[in-house]
Structure 1
Amino acid sequence: MSLLANVLGFSLFGLAARFGQLGIQKRNLFTNPGGHLLAMGVFGYGGYWAYKWDIRAAELLAAKRAQITERRQKQIEQSAAAEGSE
């Protein structure tokens, strides 16, 4: 998922949450657009953070998989060398 799609999706969720909040309070939905923008900005920043975390987590997982593969190869080579010496 792209960064723009992630931020926009979270922002729209923030707008929906704001509308839901005002709907529960039975207030007019369009009286304070600044509140809507604030909610969209906060949730959009959450989407940006989630995107960055997803990228970082993928990098960490790739590095860990490479370490595990390297360790397995060393174990295979050691067991093959131990069988060959016997």
Structure 2
Amino acid sequence: MSLLANILGFSAFGLAARVGQLGIQKRNLLDNPGGHLSAMGVFGYAGYWAYHWDQRASVLLAERRQEIVERRQKEIAHAEASGAAALELE
């Protein structure tokens, strides 16, 4: 998912949360548009942060998977070498 889509999605959720909040309080939904903008800004920033966190987590997982593959290849090579050495002793 792209950065813009993530920010817009979180901002839309912030707007929905603000409208829901005002609906519960039975207040006019268009009374204070600054509140709507601040809620959208805060939730949009949360979307920005979540996007970058997800990207960093993907990089860390890829690095970790590569380390696991390399470790397994070393273990296989070691097991094959020790198996070949055992066959030579027989």
TM-score (norm 1): 1.00
Secondary structure at 1:31 match in 2? coil
Q: Structure 1 vs Structure 2: percent identity of aligned residues?
A: 70
What amino acid is aligned across from residue 45 of structure 2 in structure 1? Y
**Partner of 2:30: helix, strand, or coil?**
coil
Following TM superposition, the consecutive aligned residue runs of length 4 or more in structure 1 with deviations greater than 3 angstroms are none
The DSSP-based 3-state class of the residue aligned with 1:28 is coil
Q: CA deviation at 1:72?
A: 0.1
Quick check: 1:15 aligned with 2:15?
Answer: yes
**Could you tell me how far apart the structure 2 residues matched to 1:67 and 1:39 are?**
42
Shift of 1:14: 0.1
Cα offset, 1:74, TM superposition: 0.2
Counterparts of 1:1-86 in structure 2 under 5 Å? 1-86=1-86
Equivalent pairs, count: 86
The unaligned stretches of length 5 or more in structure 2 are none
Name structure 1 gaps, 5 residues minimum.
Answer: none
**Whole-Å Cα distance in 2 between the matches of residues 17 and 83 of structure 1?**
64
- What is the root-mean-square deviation of aligned Cα atoms in Å? 0.2
Report the Cα offset of residue 48 of structure 1.
0.2
Give the structure-2-normalised TM-score: 0.95
Tell me which structure has the larger Cα radius of gyration: 2
Using the TM superposition, give the Cα deviation of residue 19 of structure 1 relative to its aligned residue in structure 2, in angstroms: 0.1
